Every structure is written in structure tokens, then in C-alpha cells.
Amino acid sequence: MSGASVLYDVPGPRAVRRNLILGVVTVLVVLAVIGFVVYRFAVTGQFDASRWNLFTYTLVWQGMAQALWATVSAFLAAAVGSLVLGFVLAIGRVSEHAWVRVPVTVVIELLRAVPVLVMMMIFYYGINSIPGSTFRMTPYVAVVIGLVLYNGSVLAEALRAGIEALPKGQKEAGYAIGLRKSGVMAFILLPQALRAMLPIIVSQLVVTLKDTALGFIITYPELIYYAKYLSGQPGRPLLQAGLIVAVIYISMCLILSGVAKWLEVRTRRSPKVQTGHGGNAAADDEATLTEAIALQRGMGKRDSTSF
């Protein structure tokens, strides 16, 4: 088979025919469900011009743009904070010192166990209800903090899994060339774990983007909050506003996935490694160690920080 390997037997004629029939039936069922939904929308007058008349006003789309920016701004802040917190917790999670590893593990498990909405409500309603407190928690800050704490703990576990999945020889080779623990982590383990876990990280960032919608519970003026506001206008275009917001969310998720795919292709392996070693895993590991050696020599002195 020209060097290729498969994890399953090649289907025979009967299996191919059966899979084809199942595929056709699945497509027909999905089309039937979509057709029924569209039919019900038409019967109940959801496509009438009066239902969509509200969206012909410029002020409505200006408000939609402001709600979109509120969603994007909360997501960007939460994404950066989640990545930073995830890296910090992941490093502490794989520490060889129990006095670091155990507390970090407890923090991660606690943050992962609490729903995002509960965190938002605790920070917004809980802090603002403290008697005599002069500090006021805004909905934006409560949304961002809740998203950062939850998604940061999830990303920490993903990065921890990526680090522990690497061959132990990677760490030993780093020590062999004179790197300390911090150097091995920064120059060898984390870059490879980040590349390996990139799909999971992107999936969690997509979840972060969609979880911004929970902010409408604490009156954060994002897209869902604005859609709910529009549903109270003449004609009550609840479904129409929901469809528009859904299209916006789908578009943002597709853009985020496209950017992640581009990053994955760019960071998978350098052209130099592909040309010189055929793009295999051993060549990637050798290139990583070579870069670590160059960084170590350029530092001029060893890093004495330990985890």
C-alpha cells in the first residue's frame, strides 16, 4: 500500500453499498426536518414583511453593531486572560513540588466544577450586594472574570495533557544540553504541547465566544441581550432577531476556526525541517532541541528558576 497504513479494514462492496444507503437516508431525513421547520415558519407568518420591517431601520443595526462589539470585546479580554491563566495553572499542575502541584490541582478542579453563569452571578450580584462596599462590579468585568476562571482551568488541563503526552526523552535531552527546569519547560515542552493541543485550545476559545451570551442574565448588553430587547418592539420579532444573532455567531466561530487552521498550518513545522528531514516527527524533535541549544547559548547564563 505504498507505505500507507490504515486503522480499519477497507470496506467491501456490501459495506460500501450499505454506507451509501445510510448516507442518503440521513441526508433525506435532515432535509425533511429542515423543510418541516421552514414550512412551519411560513404557515405561522414568520416570513411576512411586517415581521422583518424593524430591521430596515439604521438605528437597529447601529444597536446591533454596539452589541456585537460588546460581545467581541468581552471575548477578546476573556480569551487572553484564559490563555495566560491556563499557562500558569498548567505549569503549576506539572510541577515536581507537591506544595505547588496540590494547591493548583485543587484550584483547577474547583474552577472547572462551577458553571460559568454561577460565577458571573456570584461576581456581579454577590459583590454588589455586600453592605457598605464602595466597589461596584460592572457586568462587563463579571462576564470577563467568569469566563477567564472557567476557561483558564479547562485550558490548563488541556496543556497539562499535552505536556505529559510528550516523550520523556524530550525533557531528558533538554537537561543533557544544560537547560534548567524553566528552560526545558519554556523552550522544549510548552512549544510542542501548544502545537499538539492547538485544536483543543481553539475549540475552547469557540466555547468562550459562545459563553459570552450568558452575560445577558446579568444585564450585559451583548447580542442576546439586544435580541431580547428587539423582541419587545412592535411585531415582536423574537425569531427574526434570534436568526440574525445566530448567523452572526456562526460567522464569528467560522472566522475563529479559520484563523486557528491558518496558525496550525504555520506552526506545524518549518519549511527548513520539511526539506532537510522529510517532515517526520524525529526531525521535528531534533529541530526543537536545536532551537533550545541556540537559545541556551544566546542567554549567556543558565536560568536558575525551578518549578
Q: Where is 146: in which H helix or E strand?
A: helix 139-165
Angle of CA points 176, 183, 189, to nearest 5°: 85
pLDDT at position 286, please?
A: 53
Output DSSP code: residue 56: G
Q: Which residues of 57-83 are buried (b: 16+ CB within 10 A; e: fewer)?
A: eeebeeebeebbebbeebbebbbebbb
- Helices 168-176 and 281-299: crossing angle, nearest 10°? 30
Residue type at position 240 = Q
Query: pLDDT of the chain along its 307 residues, tens only?
Result: 444 455 567 778 888 899 999 999 999 999 999 999 999 988 988 888 888 888 889 999 999 999 999 999 999 999 999 999 999 999 888 888 889 899 999 999 999 999 999 999 999 998 888 887 778 889 999 999 999 999 999 999 988 888 888 787 777 777 777 778 777 777 788 788 888 888 888 889 999 999 999 999 999 999 999 999 888 877 778 888 989 999 999 999 999 888 888 877 777 654 444 444 444 545 555 555 555 555 555 555 444 444 4
The closest alpha carbon to 185, from 45, 281, 87, belongs to: 87
The model carries a pTM of 0.76
Contact 155, 82 (CB under 8 A): yes
The letter for the amino acid at 146 is G
What letter does residue 216 receive in the DSSP assignment? G
Distance, in Å, from the CA atom of 149 to the CA atom of 226, rounded to the nearest integer, reads 26
Cell of 159: 496543556
- Are the CB atoms for 101 and 93 separated by under 8 Å? yes
Give the C-alpha separation, 151 to 143, whole Å.
Answer: 12
What whole-number distance in Å separates Cα of residue 74 and Cα of residue 66? 12
Cβ neighbors of 270 (< 8 A, separation 6 or more) are 287
* Residue 51 grid coordinates: 415581521
The CA distance from 259 to 248, in Å, is 17
Task: Identify the structural domains of the chain with CATH numbers, from first to last.
Answer: 1-44 (no CATH), 49-299 (1.10.3720.10)
